[in-house]
Structure 1
């Protein structure tokens, strides 16, 4: 599982705000059953390493601050809302009566397929208001559809709708879409190139399979690009 979003600057600010040393932070984390050296806290604050979900939860508790503060974001996705409430994926799955692999796929594929009861329990566990719940469970389908339309057609016209959907600056979304559109175009170029060259069907099937895998991961790739693009517009 990828590391959760994390802000080194916010972590350091939270520690300094309550006047703790790294040694005192790890002592507080140890009381929660998580043992780490003081060097780990410094490496997180310096951005050398990122904490795991379990480490993030313990760090937030030790620093007496909300998890979203250390993530430096307002939760949008299912995973981010889960992290904000300090649930592991397995514990949340158990809480809502869903098997762990099914829940993990819901986060990974950004597609919610829970029953009505599981959806109500999810809203209760994560403290989601009705509009937040709808945004979380509907976002996946809308996002996936718009992204496919963007990479397969004219991406610029999808910038504004996607920016509203993921609550991100349009310039950031535009950069992500431009990158994804180019990546998708390379698959088409490779396929047509081998088709014109009359390559054997094996290679054509390989390219088609690679494209299918890329499309399956499209939403996750897009969110990663949006999350890491903090640079100035060009």
Structure 2
């Protein structure tokens, strides 16, 4: 819903210094047309309700044709005018800031929900480097309603997780339950189930390749094993989805 009072609008110079969020311009056109609004109606709504005096029908048309993209503040105003969430007008969010914008949250909301100081949070958002502890990370995932793959990506833990998983499937998986569990807001039992299955999948693949490979068995096994390890995160998320996750 549109707010009764327009939010504070930063200057255009300050907006231009920030990267524009990914914009789904076909969705913007579909939503506008579904409401029976012309470009001029949308532009007027953004001017009247959000104080964006520079927005014209040509601005809206350019956005819908992919010739330009709105800033985060413009995207929020456009979403309010089209009676939708900012996330409905965005492409896939990949950064901390983009996930916040997609949820229509202010930095203060995320900082408070995650239990970090506002200035600390703003710096982490600006550098796209999450430095929160385990409790704060779990709170961040809840505030932004992040699926686990997005949570790992946003907190910059993807490569660390992949390294742990590679070691888990090639050695004794039991020794990696705790370190993997510390990275994810997931039940210990669920982590155990996923790691055990990944380990079994990797080992069975190695055995099958050796038995089918004949004289070239060692080379074939090495290739199959490396392919599995290269895609370890894909296998991990597939197992997580397949067995169901739970917090705590």
Secondary structure of the corresponding residue to residue 4 of structure 1? coil
Counterpart selection for 2:231 from 160, 176, 182: 160
Secondary structure of the corresponding residue to residue 75 of structure 2? helix
Residue in 2 aligned with 1:216? none
1:112 aligned onto 2:130: yes
Whole-Å Cα distance in 1 between the matches of residues 57 and 236 of structure 2?
Answer: 40
1:69 aligned onto 2:88: yes
Counterpart selection for 1:12 from 26, 29, 44: 29
Q: 1:135 to 1:51 in 2, by over 3 A?
A: same
**What aligned pairs does 1:146-157 form with structure 2 within 5 A after superposition?**
none
Give the TM-score normalised by the residue count of structure 1: 0.52
Residue in 1 aligned with 2:68? 49
Secondary structure of the corresponding residue to residue 23 of structure 2? coil
Counterpart selection for 2:47 from 30, 36, 53: 30
Whole-Å Cα distance in 2 between the matches of residues 142 and 31 of structure 1?
Answer: 44
Counterpart selection for 2:120 from 86, 102, 108: 102
Secondary structure of the corresponding residue to residue 2 of structure 1? coil
**What aligned pairs does 1:154-193 form with structure 2 within 5 A after superposition?**
160-161=231-232
Residue in 2 aligned with 1:86? 104
| Contact 2:24–2:89 (8 Å) recurs in 1 | yes
Larger radius of gyration: 2
| Contact 2:103–2:144 (8 Å) recurs in 1 | yes
Give the TM-score normalised by the residue count of structure 2: 0.49
Secondary structure of the corresponding residue to residue 122 of structure 1? helix
Deviations 1:176-210 (A, max 9, x none): xxxxxxxxxxxxxxxxxxxxxxxxxxxxxxxxxxx
Question: Following TM superposition, by how much is the alpha carbon of 1:95 offset from its aligned partner in structure 2, in angstroms?
Answer: 5.2
| Contact 2:75–2:86 (8 Å) recurs in 1 | yes
Report how many residues are paired.
Answer: 156
1:141 aligned onto 2:212: no
Residue in 2 aligned with 1:214? none
Deviations 1:8-66 (A, max 9, x none): 21111111111101111122223432322222111111212110011111111111223
Secondary structure of the corresponding residue to residue 231 of structure 2? helix
| Contact 2:94–2:150 (8 Å) recurs in 1 | no
